């Protein structure tokens, strides 16, 4: 069974806040749900499928189902970190295609800024029963930044990738963020400013990192017959793929990501090629994340990502592959340290023609949204969706 053409994204919403001191976690989930349902022209009572991940308070979906007064006949709380919500779009389409629901709601929320979380620079233990890997990793001090940094270090060693090339990814994001009134960082930065910002963990500088923000977002995925009676522009899901990449029992290879497999699955299902894509929403926890995913999704040859992203190639209206035109996680928003959902949102805006006029891609009829969750250098979940304007 293929999900091609079996589901549409009918509603989206991104919370405008970047610092949620006076809003509860559950409240943000409900606010973004309300926003996305209103965007679609649907109500809470239309929802019969609910999707969330580990950022939702409580056990799986249950607390939020209760808080929002939902009555879902299908739930899915698969957690692959920040890529969960891209994966949920695919799973929602599968559920819809199988007749298990018709209106699927996906929500994300988080408050790491309000809670003062040291997101990227302090090793995190999950507590409770240790995972089997934890005794062999946690005591050594793996953090979000240094594990991604090791991918960058190896990429530089094998392929000659440079800090200046990585910096171009931040530069492109900043060119887009200047037009987003909600972006946390609105200033356009230069390659020099990125490489001269303080090193957090070699070879990644502060400006190679994404922002830390509160907020959230929601997506409403619906069956074709529901989409047909709604008034919003129709965004059709035509391909989805997912993969979990690990250290492979000690055969870890830091030079590629699970996008190699999730991307191929999504492109094969959609029957399109990377060269057909007009807009790419690419998970951007760090500059290296973008570079590796672009290679693995097939936008350029492995090892040639540095040359591909340089000289503004990712800037809308300038380069060949406009990416993250809302400023992405690198400049605008990375709600709850989980940036996959906002990737889908900007892809939908582009396909609807509702991106900011300064960054709107002309005739944008085909887009990819891709997420990486967990740690690129330890183990991560990859999810890819291909979306088409109808």
Residue 38 binding another protein, by CB under 8 A: no
**At how many degrees (to 10) do helices 287-297 and 259-270 cross?**
50
- The reply on whether position 221 binds another protein by CB under 8 A is no
Q: Out of 38, 45, 115, 134, which residue is the one contacting another protein (CB under 8 A)?
A: 134
Torsion of CA 269, 273, 277, 282, to 10 degrees: 70
Q: Is the dihedral of CA 295, 300, 305, 311 positive or negative?
A: negative
The conformational region for residue 157 under phi > 0 = left, psi -120 to 50 = alpha, else beta, is alpha
The footprint of another protein on this chain (CB under 8 A) covers a number of residues equal to 40
128 contributes a contact to another protein by CB under 8 A: no
Under the binding rule (CB under 8 A), the answer on residue 137 touching another protein is: yes
| Interaction between residue 376 and another protein (CB under 8 A) | no
Least Å distance between CB 218 and another protein?
33
Q: Tell the smallest beta-carbon distance from residue 327 to another protein (Å).
A: 24
Q: Which is nearer to another protein, 114 or 138 (CB)?
A: 138
Task: Select from 95-103, 126-134, 185-193, 359-367 the region that touches another protein (CB under 8 A).
Answer: 126-134
For residues 211 and 334, the answer to whether their CB atoms sit within 8 Å is: yes
Q: How far is the CB of 111 from another protein (least distance, A)?
A: 22
Shortest Å, Cβ 209 to another protein: 10
Which of 281, 297, 300, 299 has the alpha carbon at shortest distance from 339?
281
Residue 54 contacts another protein per CB under 8 A: no
Taking alpha carbons only, the member of 257, 224, 253, 223 closest to residue 243 is 257
Is residue 119 within the footprint of another protein (CB under 8 A)?
A: no
Rounded to a whole number of angstroms, the minimum distance from the CB of residue 372 to another protein is 18
The reply to whether 207 sits near another protein by the rule CB under 8 A is no
Pairwise CA distance, residues 252 & 200, whole Å: 24
Q: What is the 3-state secondary structure (H, E, C) of 258-297?
A: CHHHHHHHHHHHHCCCHHHCCEEEECCCEHHHHHHHHHHH
Contact yes or no for 259/296 (Cβ under 8 A): yes
State the first-to-last Cα distance of the chain, in angstroms, to the nearest integer: 21
**Does residue number 149 form part of the binding site for another protein (CB under 8 A)?**
yes
Residue 14 in the binding site for another protein (CB under 8 A): no
> Cα separation of 120 and 117, whole Å?
9
Tokens at 172, concatenated: 């492109």
Q: Under the criterion CB under 8 A, does residue 204 sit at the interface with another protein?
A: yes
- Of the two residues 145 and 361, which places its CB atom closer to another protein in the complex? 145
Stretch that binds another protein, among 36-44, 75-83, 152-160, 295-303 (CB under 8 A): 152-160
Binding window for another protein (CB under 8 A); candidates: 37-45, 133-141, 167-175, 181-189: 133-141
201 is a site residue for another protein (CB under 8 A)? yes
If you compute the radius of gyration of the chain from its CA atoms, what whole number of angstroms results? Answer: 19
Q: Which of 35, 72, 81, 203 binds another protein (CB under 8 A)?
A: 203
CB atoms within 10 A of CB 160: 11
Q: Which of 33, 68, 104, 153 binds another protein (CB under 8 A)?
A: 153
- CA 197 vs. chain centroid, Å, equals 25
Q: Is 59 in the site for another protein (CB under 8 A)?
A: no
* Residue 138 makes contact with another protein by CB under 8 A: yes
The residues of the shown chain that bind another protein, judged by CB under 8 A, are 121, 125, 130, 132-143, 145-147, 149-154, 157, 198-204, 247-252, 254, 378
């Amino acid at each position: 069974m293929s999900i091609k053409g079996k589901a549409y994204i009918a509603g989206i919403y991104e919370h405008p806040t970047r610092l949620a001191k006076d809003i509860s976690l559950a409240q943000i989930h409900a606010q973004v749900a309300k926003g996305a349902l209103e965007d679609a022209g649907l109500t809470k009572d239309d929802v019969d499928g609910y999707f969330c991940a580990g950022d939702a308070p409580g056990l799986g979906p249950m607390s939020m189902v209760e808080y929002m007064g939902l009555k879902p006949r299908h739930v899915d709380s698969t957690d692959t970190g920040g890529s969960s919500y891209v994966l949920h779009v695919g799973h929602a389409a599968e559920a819809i295609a199988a007749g298990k629901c018709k209106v699927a709601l996906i929500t994300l929320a988080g408050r790491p800024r309000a809670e003062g979380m040291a997101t990227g620079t302090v090793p995190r233990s999950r507590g409770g029963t240790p995972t089997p890997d934890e005794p062999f990793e946690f005591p050594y001090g793996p953090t979000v930044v240094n594990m991604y940094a090791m991918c960058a270090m190896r990429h530089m060693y094998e392929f000659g990738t440079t800090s200046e090339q990585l910096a171009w990814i931040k530069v492109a994001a900043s060119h887009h963020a200047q037009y987003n009134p909600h972006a946390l960082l609105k200033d356009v930065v230069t390659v020099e400013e990125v490489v001269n910002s303080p090193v957090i963990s070699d070879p990644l500088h502060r400006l190679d990192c994404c922002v830390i923000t509160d907020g959230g977002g929601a997506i409403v995925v619906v069956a074709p017959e529901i989409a047909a009676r709604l008034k919003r522009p129709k965004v059709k899901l035509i391909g989805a793929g997912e993969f979990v990449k690990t250290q492979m029992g000690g055969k870890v290879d830091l030079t590629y990501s699970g996008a190699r497999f999730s991307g191929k699955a999504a492109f094969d299902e959609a029957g399109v090629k990377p060269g057909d894509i007009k807009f790419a929403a690419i998970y951007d926890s760090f500059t290296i994340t973008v570079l590796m995913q672009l290679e693995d999704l097939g936008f350029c040859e492995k090892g040639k990502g540095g040359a591909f992203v340089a000289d503004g190639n990712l800037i809308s209206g300038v380069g060949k592959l406009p990416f993250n035109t809302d400023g992405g996680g690198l400049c605008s928003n990375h709600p709850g340290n989980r940036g996959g959902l906002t990737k889908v949102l900007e892809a939908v805006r582009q396909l609807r023609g509702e991106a900011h006029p300064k960054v709107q891609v002309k005739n944008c009829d085909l887009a990819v949204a891709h997420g990486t969750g967990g740690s690129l250098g330890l183990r991560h979940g990859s999810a890819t969706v291909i979306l088409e304007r109808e």
